[in-house]
Structure 1
Amino acid sequence: MANNNKTGLPPMMDLWRTSELHELGFNDRRIAALVQVGDLVRLRRGCYIRGSTWAAQKPWVRSRQLIAAHAHGTLTTSTGGLVYSHTSAARLHGLFLWDVDDRVHITTDSSASRSSHGHDAVAHGRALETNEIMLINGMPCTSLERTVADCCLLLNYKQSLVLMDHALRKGADAYKLQLMCESLAGRNGVLALRRALENADARSESPGETLTRELLQRLRIDLPELQVEVSSPEGSHRLDFAWRDKKVALEFDGKVKYFDYAPTSEVIFKERQREKALMAQGWKFIRIKWQHLFREQEFKSTVLGVLRSTS
């Protein structure tokens, strides 16, 4: 091995099957030692990823990496007999998932046992139509609409709504989903699918915003508008939620909002400058974080208190 790095792992690769590591000259003892010190991470039986790559990945990237590891470890190809489906397909499509585990879901028309696909895989038996299968990053998975329908049959209503909001935002065909609802009448889980489709809003930009809207609706609080454009001397601004007539804005402060798009300090500074400018025009702000969504009475008292103060 003509590598100058301390591990001896090829610099241009990140994912290996055990057989590939053997071919590179690593025996089982050496592989185990690399895992012990964190230079390799075992993603599933027979498949490893470079430790530094795994450590640098965000949770949702790791979830997709586990699917790639399954495909790599089982030599999955577009002509193979399995298709990634349900929440695994949702991850390949880049859809938001909330509070969902990392198990790999596959759909196959064969009757092979679950263990034949790996103990980390959940196998579903069903023949898929040609138009229900597509390739993403070389991996076969269910189409966007088929994925949404399958997921909602497994998930609870809140999880389904988070998924549905994002799917519609990414271009899922609501009419096709409605037809699927009708064809699935009587199936377990179809209620969550139907309710999510009825209450979905493609303007929602994050799981936190979706769950905020769901909570407002469930608490019977008059629903605000979403993604409201307003202006101030600081420029044009977009509010997560707003009751225009009362000049009350509700903003969801989630970590994703801050850490994914710009340096934290810069984003927070701009948010506060915008807020001050709008407050000078008579706007009131309600800022909530994830924990507030699970303190329902406190949330209700806070929102209603601000809304009533403007009457």
Structure 2
Amino acid sequence: MPRAPHGHDHGRVRIDETRTKILTRHELLASGIRESQLKRSLRDGRLRRLHTGAFVTRQDWESARAEERHLLAVLAADRARKGGDVVFSHASAAVAWGLPLFRMPPSPVHTSGPRTDGVVRPKAGLAHHAVAVDDEDRVVIAGLPCTSLERTVYDMIRTQSKEAAVALADAAMRLVAAGSRRGRYDDDAADAWRASLLGRIARSVGARGIRQARWLARFADGRAELPGESVSRLYLVELGFAAPRLQVPFDGPNGEQWLIDFGLDDVGAWGEFDGVGKYTDPDLLDGRTPDQAIMREKHREDWIRGRSQRRFVRWGMQHVATAEALGSRLSSFGILPTR
């Protein structure tokens, strides 16, 4: 079974780091904890059971995002795996690839492999899809057998809501076309991957959700950097705006180049999706205080608005709860679709 591409090294590191948070019964007992203490820790919530004989501390669980929680469950299930030809698939492969589970409810660990039929059988937090998985659709990421990126996206965009699916498809396209290189986007790589995904979809006439999958494969764009940006552009099109340009370069006053999330060219406006992390995440703050980051954004916005003579509107996650909510936010700035 082939390993994931070298460009996915950051995924291997992330999986290895998550794996260290799993505590096994054997390790806990070997460290001197008695069986009665282990049971007490489970009862009072200091430990959480992930799978038979595998646990995580309350602190690690509560600090984890939805994707890491699911990855913890996948890695715990992998510890109990007894060989066979099944691979982790669907949401479970998605988290191994580092794709978002945006607005997806918690799900059992998913595996796929040949059995007698295609029925999913929930048992002990597991769901098995008894379907064929070709050799080219199998990869190993940090020791974890998974479906390939293309097969994972194909499985997910057919079966999830359009919002969840577009966030995942955009992230996958970004992994293909940008990888870990900020500021560089390989259109040829994106187009080739899209063509391959569309070819798979074309060979699956009559499969569940195939019409949505075809539309999403054509719509996916890895320049959307966050799920909120992905859903924003979905809703913009649903509201009647032209498809926006993404990550539009704009020259700053000192020779720097800024990227604007959305170029709403049909209505002569700029749009930015503001994730909370822009003003709170230490990595994104890059040594600045939140107040300094806010002032920097204000100066940037003033410059862009003044030089371009275009309106500039910002929105956040609360404004993409629905398409209507985003439409209301834009209309309050006098920005209305032309269609």
Deviation digits for residues 213-270 of structure 1 (CA, Å, limit 9, x no counterpart): 1111111123331111112325321100023586521111122444443247144332
> After the TM superposition, which residues 199-278 of structure 1 pair with which residues of structure 2 at under 5 Å, given as runs?
199-233=219-253, 235-243=256-264, 248-260=269-281, 261-263=283-285, 265=290, 266-278=292-304
- Which of the numbers 273, 286, 292 marks the counterpart of 2:313? 286
What corresponds to 2:334 in structure 1?
306
Change (3 A) 1:203 1:262: closer
Q: TM-score, normalised by structure 1?
A: 0.83
* Partner SS, residue 280 of structure 1: helix
> After the TM superposition, which residues 45-124 of structure 1 pair with which residues of structure 2 at under 5 Å, given as runs?
45-72=52-79, 74-75=80-81, 79-102=83-106, 103-110=108-115, 118-124=123-129
What corresponds to 2:216 in structure 1?
196
Deviation digits for residues 4-37 of structure 1 (CA, Å, limit 9, x no counterpart): xxxxxxxx96323334434444343110222345
Change (3 A) 1:127 1:255: same
Deviation digits for residues 161-180 of structure 1 (CA, Å, limit 9, x no counterpart): 22111111111721221111
- Which of the numbers 41, 48, 71 marks the counterpart of 1:41? 48
Deviation digits for residues 171-194 of structure 1 (CA, Å, limit 9, x no counterpart): 172122111111111011111211
Change (3 A) 1:297 1:20: closer
Change (3 A) 1:107 1:267: farther
Larger Rg computed on CA atoms:
1
Whether the aligned pair in 2 keeps the contact of 1:156 and 1:192 (CA below 8 Å) is: no
Change (3 A) 1:247 1:177: same
What corresponds to 2:165 in structure 1?
160
What corresponds to 2:186 in structure 1?
none
Change (3 A) 1:39 1:82: same
Q: Report the AA paired with residue 242 of structure 1.
A: G
What corresponds to 1:7 in structure 2?
none
Q: How large is the Cα RMSD of the aligned pairs? A: 2.8
Distance 1:63 1:259 in 2: 25
Which structure would you say has the larger RCO, counting Cα contacts within 8 Å and 6 or more residues apart?
2
Shift of residue 134, structure 1, vs aligned partner: 0.8
Distance 2:69 2:293 in 1: 26
Deviation digits for residues 22-57 of structure 1 (CA, Å, limit 9, x no counterpart): 444434311022234544222234311233433443
Whether the aligned pair in 2 keeps the contact of 1:164 and 1:200 (CA below 8 Å) is: yes
Q: Report the AA paired with residue 303 of structure 1.
A: L
What corresponds to 1:134 in structure 2?
139
Q: TM-score, normalised by structure 2?
A: 0.77
Shift of residue 122, structure 1, vs aligned partner: 1.0
Whether the aligned pair in 1 keeps the contact of 2:153 and 2:172 (CA below 8 Å) is: yes
Distance 2:330 2:314 in 1: 10
Distance 1:163 1:13 in 2: 26
* Partner SS, residue 105 of structure 1: strand
- Alignment length, in residue pairs? 293
Whether the aligned pair in 2 keeps the contact of 1:160 and 1:192 (CA below 8 Å) is: no
Deviation digits for residues 126-176 of structure 1 (CA, Å, limit 9, x no counterpart): 221111111112110000001111112221222222211111111172122
Whether the aligned pair in 2 keeps the contact of 1:114 and 1:121 (CA below 8 Å) is: no
- The gaps in structure 2 that reach 5 residues or longer are 1-18, 177-189
